[in-house]
Amino acid sequence: MKMSRFLLPIPAALALALAACGGGADSSNDGDNAAAEADRAAETAGTMPPAATPAPAAASAATAMATLQPTAGNQTAGELRFAVVDGRIEVTGTVTGLPGGGTHGFHVHETGDCSAPDATSAGGHFNPGSTDHGRVGQGAHHGGDSDNITAGADGTAQVKGWLEGVTLGDGAATDVVGKGVIVHKDADDYVTQPTGNAGDRLACGVIQAG
């Protein structure tokens, strides 16, 4: 009977043992559950598609137009288009009312003002770089210099030239928008300063953003 002083009653001992086992099992299960949740999160992240990268905005091609009107006593007129192509400004269009078979100077001038009867209100050649007159693509030249145009027997010239050293529609000092366009009576010799000895002005237009 003395041994009962050192032994727990059977129900209490059994309860204590079960509690100890239960506490260990719960702790182990918590760790397993946390690991499983981490694995599932990693798998989900791995299968999700990457965030879409916004596509860059398409660059809009700058264009401008000019309508040529005859100066006093002439019949020369036309429509011209200016567009940025491969880093330069291409000029295309049609000029009518020229002397049949003639070759004529063709330039951008510094002022978009065709109000004078002889278009002298358009000023001189557009020359933002303060360079000598010359031929585009062949050394020093004005920003407004372009190749001569030549009319067919019917007095119509198809224009396909370009400008270098100027810009289109950016508001910079080199911008040709708002400048004048002149067709001259004679051919530009690409040498004589400052106009190429191209003679009188047959037509004038103002370059306007398209």
Per-residue pLDDT of the chain (210 residues; tens, 9 = 90+): 444 444 444 444 444 444 444 444 444 445 455 545 545 544 444 444 444 444 443 344 489 999 999 999 999 999 999 999 988 999 999 999 999 999 999 999 999 999 999 999 999 999 999 999 999 999 899 999 999 999 999 999 999 999 999 999 999 999 999 999 999 999 999 999 999 999 999 999 999 997
99 to 33, 127, 152: CA distances (angstroms): 94, 28, 9
Mode of pairing for the β-strands spanning 63-70 and 201-206? antiparallel
Q: What is the pLDDT of residue 144?
A: 96
H helices present in 62-184, as ranges: none
8 A C-beta contact, residue 147 and residue 170: no
pLDDT, residue 86, reads 86
Cα–Cα distance measured from residue 119 to residue 27, given in angstroms and rounded to the nearest whole number: 96
CA distances from 56 to 53, 59, 85, 87, 145 (A): 9, 9, 20, 20, 35
Chain centroid to CA 161? 21
Strand partners, 70: 203
At the second CATH level, the architecture of 63-209 is: Sandwich (2.60)
Q: For residue 32, what pLDDT is reported?
A: 52
Q: Exposure string (b/e) for 92-102, b if CB count within 10 Å is 16 or more? A: ebebbbbeeeb
Domain ranges of the chain: 11-46, 63-209
CA distance 119 to 167: 23
